[in-house]
């Protein structure tokens, strides 16, 4: 069995607002093993980004706070960890890339400076060596003319190239886990294909694990081994990728898969899309029952009364549904 | 390229934006946003317009409504050239053509109630006989798009993204248009909401006999909703075909690559992906000859010399490539 790198247990990250407590992440369990790509899917506001940021403790506290749960990184709980300890883990062991590369790069420094800063901070190198390391990283992520491009500023790169720079920066300290938060959402489809391929290459090269956060089911199907589906702050289903797409058990997962038109079945069946009615519920004081109950076509009285537990329906396949 | 029952016909449409610079802000460069686009739309059909960001699809849509003045070319709506219209003629044209925008957060005035937003066009075009009538019409429109009568006194910020898009649709429907330009209407929405809005657009088309120009970058959505699809690359149309044909039998190497790059939500499907190298070139100085030759896997030396014509390779299937079709 591969080593378990990250094991999130019963994590609750809540935010205090003027209107009350927002339960953004409300009891999430998530495990990532060595060498695995795990997808975290769900719609906006389901808590996938907050979960990811909680792992690196990139949440402003207050207004946020860890209400309960553990984040075990190779057996050690990060929830009580000091900032100085977290700084050793960030980049060196767990790195993150964000959706919008333009807002996550500093516009007034060259990309070389920014990558070299990360390298210099974690490895005892002088400026010149760090800069050479930065150029090497740019070469690795297939940016043409890396020696010259290290001296360019972020605005001189296209969207896809900026995401490559972000990946270069994230991988510069060879982390064991890369958290990719919607890495291709802002990109065009041909560029998305390039970036996904690059991530796969880098994963094999460095033997790292990836936590891929996305709302695109197609991206999940093509890149992940296991998938966790989130809805309104809760995990509703977790399964190996083939089981999830072949035999989705939760009505929400079923709805997500059926509501997307399929290019590969080109116009063969011009049927209506199966839309999920309604919208994601508010996370302010959510009702006690299943969070999906209000939109679910199989809803019963039991669903509204109490939150169903996450139970194993097949080996490695967990569902939070009474049916 | 004519279609049966033609409603809109676009011929050699061009829009060049001047890039100004220097002390006297003289024109120093030009962006060739739309560079000779031609297509037709038949009444009651949906023409999908796809391409990556910067290919000119939105500019094309806006030129048709004259929200942007085209540099040259001809746009005929029911036989009349739209580019020469002005004053009252243009105003009445806008009753026939409406637009739905991508960002439901930016396209609704936050200071107006939903009732005022939807009713505004009715007042401008003097379509309501009285206050009472205006209100009735607004309520009816809101109900048509799946909202409720009491929503008319609320403000846009009180609605979710999907509901706002419904408000935008109600506003477009208010003047009973014939053609609606849908500019990425579902791109900003979550997948489960996307399906609701797509279904609504399809229902409305059937109910009111609408014609759509559906602009989007998501090929699966476009394939689903369109009768025919036009693929754009750097300001030019590279291929037009009935949607099924285009997806089953893409002729242009760009269409082929674009289709193969779409991730399929089924882990058991394994496909060969055509990886395009590099990014879309800068439309300020587009490549010579065929704009795609710099990234094309089958490019030959003369592709950089000669501009390929859009020609009919199979009935109804048009392609602009020297070596395909």
User: Using CA atoms, how far apart are residues A152 and A113, in angstroms rounded to an integer?
Assistant: 10
Neighbouring C-beta atoms of residue B222, cutoff 10 Å: 25
Residues B167-195 have a mean pLDDT of 91
Q: Over chain A, what is the mean pLDDT?
A: 88
Stretch 279-318 of chain A: residues touching chain B, C-beta under 8 Å? 279-280
Q: Residue A219: which of B223, B259, B263 has the nearest Cβ?
A: B263
Residue B274 has pLDDT above 80, yes or no: yes
Contact A234, A27 (CB under 8 A): yes
Q: Residue B248: which of A255, A260, A266 has the nearest Cβ?
A: A266
- pLDDT tens sequence across A38-69: 999 988 888 889 999 999 998 888 888 888 89
Chain B residue with Cα closest to A157: B279
Q: From the CA of A69, how many Å to the nearest CA of chain B? A: 29
pLDDT reported for residue A286: 80
Categorize the per-residue pLDDT at A266 as very low, low, confident or very high, splitting at 50, 70 and 90. low
Pairing type for strands B26-42 and B6-21 reads antiparallel
Residue A220 has pLDDT above 90, yes or no: yes
3-state helix, strand, coil split of chain A in percent (to 5) is 35, 25, 40
pLDDT reported for residue A1: 63
User: Using CA atoms, how far apart are residues B234 and B216, in angstroms rounded to an integer?
Assistant: 15
pLDDT reported for residue B18: 87
Beta carbons of A266 and B265 less than 8 Å apart: no
User: Using CA atoms, how far apart are residues A22 and A8, in angstroms rounded to an integer?
Assistant: 20
Cα dihedral B140, B142, B147, B148, rounded to 10, equals -50
Q: From the CA of A19, how many Å to the nearest CA of chain B? A: 15
* Partners of B26 in the β-ladder: B21
Residue closest to B120 by CA, chosen among B169, B170, B171, B163? B171
Q: Which residues of A touch B194 (CB under 8 A)?
A: 259
Categorize the per-residue pLDDT at B2 as very low, low, confident or very high, splitting at 50, 70 and 90. low
**How many Cα atoms are found within 13 Å in the side-chain-facing hemisphere of B19?**
10
Instruction: With H, G, I as helix, E, B as strand and everything else as coil, classify residue A71.
Output: strand
Residues B49-69 have a mean pLDDT of 91
Cα dihedral B205, B206, B210, B213, rounded to 10, equals 40
pLDDT reported for residue B1: 59
Pairing type for strands A4-17 and A64-73 reads antiparallel
- pLDDT tens sequence across A221-253: 999 999 999 999 999 999 999 999 999 999 999
Residues B74-90 have a mean pLDDT of 89
For the ranges A154-163, A255-264, B1-10, B31-40, the maximum mean pLDDT occurs at B31-40
pLDDT reported for residue A304: 87
pLDDT reported for residue A269: 53
User: Using CA atoms, how far apart are residues B189 and B162, in angstroms rounded to an integer?
Assistant: 6
pLDDT reported for residue B77: 93
Categorize the per-residue pLDDT at B192 as very low, low, confident or very high, splitting at 50, 70 and 90. confident
- pLDDT tens sequence across A97-142: 988 777 788 899 999 999 998 888 887 788 888 899 899 889 888 8
Beta carbons of A189 and B261 less than 8 Å apart: yes
Q: What is the DSSP string of A136-194?
A: HHHHHTT-SSHHHHTTS-GGGS-HHHHHHHHHHHHHTT--SEEEEESTTTTS-HHHHHH
Residues B235-250 have a mean pLDDT of 92
| B191, B252, B256, best to mutate vs chain A, most A CBs in 10 Å | B191
Residue closest to A180 by CA, chosen among A200, A158, A155, A153? A200
pLDDT reported for residue B242: 94
Q: Residue B190: which of A44, A188, A273 has the nearest Cβ?
A: A44
pLDDT reported for residue A82: 87
- What residues of chain B have any CB closer than 8 angstroms to a CB in chain A? 52-53, 160, 162-163, 190-196, 198-199, 202, 217, 219-221, 223-224, 243-244, 247-248, 257-269, 271, 273, 275-276, 279-280
């Amino acid at each position: 069995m591969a080593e378990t790198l990250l094991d999130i247990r019963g994590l609750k990250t809540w935010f205090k607002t003027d209107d009350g407590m927002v339960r953004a992440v409300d009891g999430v369990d998530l495990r990532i093993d060595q060498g695995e790509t795990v997808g975290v899917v769900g719609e906006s506001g389901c808590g996938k980004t907050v979960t990811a940021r909680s792992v690196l403790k990139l949440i402003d506290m207050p207004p946020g706070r860890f209400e309960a749960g553990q984040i075990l990184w190779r057996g050690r709980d990060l929830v009580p960890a000091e900032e100085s300890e977290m700084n050793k883990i960030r980049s060196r062991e767990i790195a993150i890339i964000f959706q919008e590369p333009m807002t996550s790069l500093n516009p007034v420094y060259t990309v070389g400076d920014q990558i070299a800063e990360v390298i210099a901070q974690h490895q005892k190198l002088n400026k010149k060596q760090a800069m050479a390391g930065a150029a090497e990283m740019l070469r690795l992520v297939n940016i043409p003319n890396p020696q010259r491009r290290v001296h360019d500023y972020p605005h001189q790169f296209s969207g896809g190239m900026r995401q490559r720079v972000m990946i270069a920066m994230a991988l510069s300290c060879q982390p064991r886990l890369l958290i990719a938060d919607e890495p291709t959402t802002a990109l065009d489809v041909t560029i998305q294909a390039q970036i996904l391929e690059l991530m796969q290459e880098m994963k094999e090269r460095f033997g790292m694990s990836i936590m891929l956060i996305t709302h695109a089911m197609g991206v999940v199907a093509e890149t992940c081994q296991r998938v966790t589906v989130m809805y309104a702050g809760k995990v509703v289903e977790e399964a190996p990728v083939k089981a999830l797409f072949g035999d989705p058990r939760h009505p929400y997962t079923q709805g997500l898969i059926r509501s997307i038109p399929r290019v590969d079945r080109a116009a063969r069946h011009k049927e209506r899309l199966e839309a999920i009615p309604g919208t994601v519920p508010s996370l302010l004081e959510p009702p006690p029952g299943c969070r999906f109950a209000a939109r679910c076509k199989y809803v019963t009285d039991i669903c509204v009364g109490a939150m169903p537990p996450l139970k194993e329906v097949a080996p490695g396949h967990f569902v939070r549904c009474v049916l | 390229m004519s279609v049966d029952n033609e409603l809109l016909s676009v011929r050699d449409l061009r829009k060049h934006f001047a890039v100004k610079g220097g002390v006297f802000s003289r024109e120093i460069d030009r962006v060739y946003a739309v560079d000779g686009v031609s297509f037709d739309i038949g009444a009651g059909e949906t023409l999908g317009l796809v391409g990556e960001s910067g290919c000119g699809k939105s500019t094309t849509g806006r030129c048709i409504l004259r929200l942007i003045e085209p540099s040259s070319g001809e746009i005929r709506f029911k036989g009349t050239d739209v580019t020469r219209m002005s004053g009252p003629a243009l105003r009445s044209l806008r009753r026939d053509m409406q637009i739905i925008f991508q960002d439901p957060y930016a396209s609704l005035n936050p200071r107006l109630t939903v009732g005022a937003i939807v009713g505004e066009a009715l007042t401008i075009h003097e379509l309501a006989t009285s206050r009472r009538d205006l209100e009735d019409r607004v309520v009816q429109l809101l109900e048509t798009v799946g909202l409720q009568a009491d929503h008319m006194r609320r403000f846009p910020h009180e609605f979710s993204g999907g509901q706002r898009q419904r408000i935008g649709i109600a506003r477009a429907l208010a003047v009973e248009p014939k053609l609606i330009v849908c500019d990425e209407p579902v791109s900003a929405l979550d997948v489960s909401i996307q399906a609701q809005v797509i279904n609504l657009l399809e229902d409305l088309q059937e109910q009111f006999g609408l014609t759509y120009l559906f602009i989007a970058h998501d090929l699966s959505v476009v394939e689903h909703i369109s009768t025919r699809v036009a693929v754009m690359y750097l300001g030019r149309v590279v291929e037009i075909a009935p949607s099924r044909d285009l997806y089953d039998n893409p002729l242009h190497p760009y269409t082929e690559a674009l289709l193969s790059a779409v991730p399929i939500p089924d882990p058991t499907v394994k496909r060969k992906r055509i990886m395009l190298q590099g990014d879309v070139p800068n439309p300020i100085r587009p490549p010579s000859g065929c704009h795609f030759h710099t990234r094309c896997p089958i490019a030959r030396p003369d592709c950089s010399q000669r501009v390929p014509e859009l020609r009919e390779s199979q009935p109804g299937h048009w392609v602009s490539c020297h070596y395909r079709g």
